[in-house]
Amino acid sequence: MPTHSTPEGHLMSGLFLHSSNRLEVLAAELAKVLHTPLSSPLAPEIIAVQSKGMERWLSLQLASIDGIWANYRFPFPTAMIRELLGNLLGPITESPLLVPENLAWRLMEILPEKLQDPTYQPLAPYLHDHAGDDLRLWQLCGRIAGLLDQYLVYRHQLINDWEEGRLQQLGPHEAWQADLWRTLVSGVDAPIHRAKLTELFRAKLAGDPEQLRALLPERIILFGVSTLPPLHLELLDALATLIPVHLFFLNPCEGYWLEIRSPREAARLLRRAAEKGLDAEEVYIENGHPLLGSLGRSGRNFLSRLLELNANDDSVFVPASAETLLAALHRDILGTDWPLDWPPAEKKEVRTDDHSLQIHACHGPLREVEVLHDLLLTAFSELPGLTPRDVLVMAPDIEIYAPYIDAVFSRAGRERSASSLPYTIADRGQRSSGGELLISFERLCSLPGSRCTAAELLDLLQLAPVGRRFGLNPGDGEIVQGWIERVNIRWGLDADFRAQEGLPANPACTWQAGLDRLLLGIALPEDSDLFGGILPASGGEGSNAILLGSLCDFIAALRSWIEITRTAQTPSEWSTTLLELIDTFFDPGEENDAYLRLRRLCVTLSEEANSGAFSGSVSFAVIRSRLLAGLAESSTHGFLSGPITFCTLQPMRSVPFQVIALIGMNDRDFPRSSHPTGFDLMPIKAQPCDPARRDEDRYLFLEALLSARQRLFITWQGEDPLDGSSAPPSVVVGELLDALEASFSCETGILRDVLVTRHHLQPFSPAYFAVGSRLRSYDPLWHAAVQARLQRGDAAMVPLFNAPLPPLDPPLTTVTIDELERFLRNPAKFFLQNRLQLRLLTASEALAEREPFLLDGLERYNLGQPLATRLLHDGDAGKEEARARAAGLLPDGSIGAGSWRQLLSSVQEFTLTVRAQLPEDAEVVEIDLPVAGLRLSGEVEGVGVESSLFWRYASLKGKDCLAGWLRHLALNASGRLLATTLIGKDGAMTFAPLAAAAAQSCLGDLVTLYRQGWQETLPFFPQSSYTYAQALHKDGDTDKALAAARKVWARDEFNPASGEENDPYYRLAFPDDPLNAAFTTLALAIFVPLLQAGSEGEEEA
């Protein structure tokens, strides 16, 4: 702070208290104080505030009062007091060693040696079985550092006693804490702390007042403070003997309310009186508004400390003038309309059109935000002159609600509808507000100690800063994912990586093994033999070679990074390493602010350790813990910036707004609880000034309640969106409702039922758009959905499309046998993927993250089908086992060997059956013929002169029968009159020869369905349809056939196998029961010709 000479006639010294129930009034009183100018026009006004939001609001308020506001400073109270002490004491300043972040590093230096002292035995449980875990030690040091910092502020006498060798007998943890503190402040370069500075300051006050004033600002002001530590109040009281000190604070009540107690506190006082033998009549408990008693404890404690000071009091209270429930509640709390006794004998009537205070119960956080959006639109339509900057929305944790806020408010903005509302979200952590760069950095820091799975590394690579750095283009991520699936990458960088995890050094299914296969595939074809124990894989050749090289660089950089993290380093070395890491992995693009913040965070590591005089080495786990804590630090950016403000519900946010909404007021979430450590000495001799999170949150709720001028909205998650179970609101909401019911009434019913609105699960409920309903919605999308539903009545859900899409332009001209087979396997999937370009992620398509341990059915098929093919072509079983191991398809060790022997035996037996049926002159036949206006082409294997063979190493299902039937039709339609045998593990089926015309007709029907399948989703499901047609073909009973199909479609508890209905493409395309007349017609049209042709030769199916 600047120093100046104080002329004669300087401002009158003293402590001046200014209180009001309204912050606007306090701002006007502050303007009056500021109208008395300082002696120098160049001297800035010093106004301490406790939040950036208060600073911004006060600046705007003072500018609107006087037309201009300039030459000012808004320090936080702690920073202001530290600066004042620095001006008075000169070079004697508080040591940076005792800043909690620095002190934690100092404790890391000295605590390990101290733990050998028997005095520190009470700390042993906190490090039990973690002797070599420096992360555990770091977390303990952080807790101790924070605790010692609180002692300096709230227990400075305890600190002084410890330094003089005295204990206050506060239990077993006091001795080691006292010894630890004396160690910290001992030595030639003993650090100066706040308690010591306070003593030096008091001694300094004995000097010449004029000389001291020359070292101080002419006037200091604290505005909007709701609490101050006792040490700060003592310093301000002492400073007031030299200069004027003005303290502006909110006081919710104009009367003396310090003795008002909540019912719980009153019961506690009566119980203690009874223990002392006193009657209840002898205990004085002030009668007053219950919210002052239940919510005002933190404010009462602060006000009582202020009244103990020798101060000039100037109070200005202004009752709310509006005739609304909210304004009447404000007057009740202020005391303007108080009766002599509480509750009042006569309740005030609440108008039916009074919407000033509303409470809403919703199904989950998304519905809370949707309801809030509609409430705000209603407020803007009903309150003249209301602007977005007049609205504040607070939640106990804004990070939970931020995604839902973006989803609801951004959608309205994107649709440019009348319901578009501008908004900004403050108090988000750096990782949430810093774009993809900070997210990438956090994920990169989480990789050491992880399994480095395929999904983890692919997600990291696809983040924009990483992708740009390694040269990825849009769409390259899908190519890399295809490689991962093809070469069977599961987890681990390489064999050494697994060995470091204490597992066998098996390279199978690692990233390096997969990359080796792809790199070898550039030089050798995929069906080549092993080369150097590596099985070639295609995909990396041609233009993809550059992308493959980038992927290799990425994995190599990760390998180097993880190797570095396995060795402990000093914080300075870690700082340098992290800066190099940022340059290695990230191209920030336009995220320059996040890039600079990230580099600053890494540099801070070294600075904090140096300030804490730490000289040792730590593991990366410690560094990661500090980095993640830094990324979680919130920013007030966006508060009062013009749009609707969303922020965290926290102290010093008592800025008045026309509309305030409190969301997330759930019983489990608010008031928030703090969990002190077991060695915290403050609760042993608790004092009224001690910080208490639940009391602070209660007073914060009261301040928010009094800061709303026209509307107050409160929402909570009153019902579970999954099971509909009810949940109570926060206890403070319940206390608010109890207080309102005690003093207000409503002629239309019970007041609680009028104030509390319970919402429907879905925003498209017709109740939101009904005439005269108390529920409202302005969303045009939901309104259109409701209108459509009302017009349709209670009819079944409509399909994805009401009518077929137009034909393709240009039209189809060709189709292959394989594509036709793919269509028949899942027509809905074919339509959605090919016509709509919609790909749904199924469980089988998600990247696998574990190597095989026991072969399941699909894995046995994926191994057995190609093995059977190679054995039929006289392949070597030994080589095939080596290929399977190189591909990562077999479990490791003896389990894999046993699985292979079992599989090989089964496949060899199966191939014997196939060889027995395989025509001697079997060959591959090219198909190319016109069918139903398209050109059908493809290849059919296993074709002889009189017969053909089609086989699957699996139990025959409807889709397998269709695959064989397609090839049978193609062969016969091309003029080859021959039978086709279909062989599976569980039996065989033979299709009789067909005349070319008959085969052409059947094939034409399937191709026609294929063309139709490009325009709409067809209710054909291979296994369910096959089961229906087969059952009907056997006994002709339609009901039994449909019942059999339903057992396949929707499995019951007696058959836990997944039914076809669980396919996500079917569920999207057919929201209602699809086993209807169209299903049966299509099933018979496709499978009846197949069953008729195969009935005579069917052995088992």
Chain-centre distance of CA 793, in angstroms?
39
Q: Are residues 30 and 102 in the same domain?
A: no
Q: Is 985 exposed, middle or buried (0-12, 13-18, 19+ CB in 10 A)?
A: middle
With vertex at residue 311, the alpha carbon angle to CA 308 and CA 312, rounded to the nearest 5 degrees, is 135
At how many degrees (to 10) do helices 156-163 and 173-184 cross?
80
For residue 761, give the nearest of 717, 824, 701 by alpha carbon.
Answer: 717
Q: Are residues 895 and 930 in the same domain?
A: no
For residue 937, give the nearest of 818, 823, 831 by alpha carbon.
Answer: 818
For residue 243, give the nearest of 3, 42, 20, 70 by alpha carbon.
Answer: 3
Q: Are residues 826 and 891 in the same domain?
A: no
Residue whose structure tokens are 């004042």 = 84
Q: Would you put residue 69 in left (φ > 0), alpha (ψ -120 to 50) or beta? A: beta
Can you give the pLDDT at residue 339?
A: 46
With vertex at residue 722, the alpha carbon angle to CA 721 and CA 727, rounded to the nearest 5 degrees, is 60
Residue whose structure tokens are 């709720």 = 701
pTM of the predicted protein model: 0.82
Query: Which pair of structure tokens corresponds to residue 105?
Result: 């590093």
Predicted confidence band of residue 446 (pLDDT cuts 50, 70, 90): very high
Q: How many CB atoms lie within 10 A of CB 451?
A: 16
What are the backbone dihedrals phi and psi of residue 116, each rounded to the nearest 5 degrees, phi first? -75, -15
Which pLDDT tens digit goes with each residue over 715-748? 999 999 888 889 999 999 999 999 999 889 888 7
- Residue 1029 identity: A
Which pLDDT tens digit goes with each residue over 319-363? 888 789 999 999 888 885 554 466 777 888 888 888 999 999 999
Give the C-alpha separation, 903 to 917, whole Å.
Answer: 21
For residue 1020, give the nearest of 943, 1084, 977, 938 by alpha carbon.
Answer: 1084
Q: What b/e sequence results for 415-440 when a residue is b if at least 16 CB atoms lie within 10 Å of its CB, and e otherwise?
A: eeeebebebbbbbbbbbbbbbbbbbb
Residue whose structure tokens are 């490090």 = 127
- Residue 525 identity: P
Query: Which pair of structure tokens corresponds to residue 829?
Result: 């999937």
Q: How many CB atoms lie within 10 A of CB 702?
A: 24
Query: Which residues share a beta bridge with 250?
Result: 20
Q: Are residues 1052 and 929 in the same domain?
A: yes
Give the C-alpha separation, 466 to 476, whole Å.
Answer: 13
Q: DSSP string spanning 165-209?
A: T------THHHHHHHHHHHHT-STTPPP-HHHHHHHHHHHTTS-H
Can you give the pLDDT at residue 1059?
A: 83
Q: Are residues 82 and 37 in the same domain?
A: yes
* pLDDT of 1095 above 70: no
Give the C-alpha separation, 842 to 414, whole Å.
Answer: 30
Q: Are residues 119 and 181 in the same domain?
A: yes
Can you give the pLDDT at residue 416?
A: 47
Give the C-alpha separation, 234 to 88, whole Å.
Answer: 16
Give the C-alpha separation, 482 to 305, whole Å.
Answer: 69
Which pLDDT tens digit goes with each residue over 585-610? 999 888 888 899 899 999 999 999 99
**Overall number of domains in the chain:** 6
Can you give the pLDDT at residue 197?
A: 82
Helices (H) and strands (E) in the chain, counts: 42, 23
Give the C-alpha separation, 1011 to 1022, whole Å.
Answer: 18
Residue whose structure tokens are 């107690």 = 261
For residue 1090, give the nearest of 1007, 951, 989 by alpha carbon.
Answer: 989
What is the DSSP-derived secondary structure letter of residue 286?
B
Residue 786 lies in a domain: no
* pLDDT of 413 above 60: no
The residue among 877 and 1000 whose pLDDT is bigger is 1000
CB 493 within 8 A of CB 559: yes
The radius of gyration of the chain from alpha carbons, rounded to an integer in Å, stands at 39
With vertex at residue 960, the alpha carbon angle to CA 954 and CA 943, rounded to the nearest 5 degrees, is 100
Range with the lowest mean pLDDT among 374-378, 481-485, 651-655, 962-966? 651-655
Under 8 Å CB-to-CB from 672, ≥6 apart: which residues?
396, 693, 694, 697
Q: Are residues 833 and 870 in the same domain?
A: no
How many residues appear in the chain?
1101
* pLDDT of 426 above 70: yes
With vertex at residue 338, the alpha carbon angle to CA 334 and CA 339, rounded to the nearest 5 degrees, is 170
Under 8 Å CB-to-CB from 172, ≥6 apart: which residues?
122
Torsion of CA 522, 527, 531, 535, to 10 degrees: 80
Residue 785 lies in a domain: no
The residue among 1033 and 342 whose pLDDT is bigger is 1033
Helix ranges, 873-977 (H): 877-886, 893-917, 958-973
Q: Are residues 835 and 975 in the same domain?
A: yes
Residue 1059 lies in a domain: yes
* pLDDT of 1054 above 70: no
Domain boundary among 142, 165, 191: 191
Give the C-alpha separation, 719 to 1001, whole Å.
Answer: 59
Query: Which pair of structure tokens corresponds to residue 387?
Result: 């602007």
Q: What b/e sequence results for 1026-1056 when a residue is b if at least 16 CB atoms lie within 10 Å of its CB, and e otherwise?
A: bbbbbbbbeeeeeeebbebbbebbebeeeee
Question: Percent of the chain scored above 90 by pLDDT?
Answer: 43
Can you give the pLDDT at residue 199?
A: 81
Could you tell me the residue range of the domain that residue 498 belongs to? 449-565
Q: How many CA atoms lie within 13 A of 656 on its CB side?
A: 17
Predicted confidence band of residue 146 (pLDDT cuts 50, 70, 90): very high
Give the C-alpha separation, 950 to 868, whole Å.
Answer: 13
Give the C-alpha separation, 1085 to 440, whole Å.
Answer: 54
Residue 380 lies in a domain: yes
Which pLDDT tens digit goes with each residue over 844-873? 567 777 777 778 777 888 888 888 888 888
Q: Are residues 117 and 89 in the same domain?
A: no
Residue 796 lies in a domain: no
CB 910 within 8 A of CB 873: no
CB 1048 within 8 A of CB 1059: yes
Which pLDDT tens digit goes with each residue over 179-227? 999 999 887 577 788 778 888 888 887 778 888 888 889 999 999 888 8
Helix ranges, 263-393 (H): 263-275, 290-295, 297-307, 325-334, 364-382
Residue 802 lies in a domain: no
Q: How many CB atoms lie within 10 A of CB 271?
A: 9
Residue 141, domain CATH: 1.10.10.160
Residue whose structure tokens are 């090289």 = 549
| 644-648 and 391-395 strand pairing | parallel
Q: Are residues 880 and 924 in the same domain?
A: no
If you average pLDDT over every residue of the chain, what do you get?
87
Q: Are residues 554 and 474 in the same domain?
A: yes
Domain boundary among 780, 806, 832: 780
Give the C-alpha separation, 819 to 830, whole Å.
Answer: 10
Q: How many CB atoms lie within 10 A of CB 244?
A: 20
Residue 1032 lies in a domain: yes
Q: Is 341 exposed, middle or buried (0-12, 13-18, 19+ CB in 10 A)?
A: exposed
With vertex at residue 530, the alpha carbon angle to CA 526 and CA 533, rounded to the nearest 5 degrees, is 130
Q: Are residues 1001 and 1029 in the same domain?
A: yes
Residue 1017 lies in a domain: yes
Residue 723, domain CATH: 3.40.50.300
Query: Which pair of structure tokens corresponds to residue 625?
Result: 């813990």
* pLDDT of 930 above 90: yes
Give the C-alpha separation, 890 to 882, whole Å.
Answer: 10
Give the C-alpha separation, 504 to 293, whole Å.
Answer: 66
* pLDDT of 1052 above 70: no
Query: Which pair of structure tokens corresponds to residue 776?
Result: 């409202």
Can you give the pLDDT at residue 259?
A: 78
Torsion of CA 409, 411, 414, 417, to 10 degrees: -80
SS (H, E, C) 665-680: CECCCCCCCCCCCCCC
Residue 26, domain CATH: 3.40.50.10930
Domain boundary among 250, 273, 299: 250
Under 8 Å CB-to-CB from 690, ≥6 apart: which residues?
154, 682, 683
CB 434 within 8 A of CB 597: yes
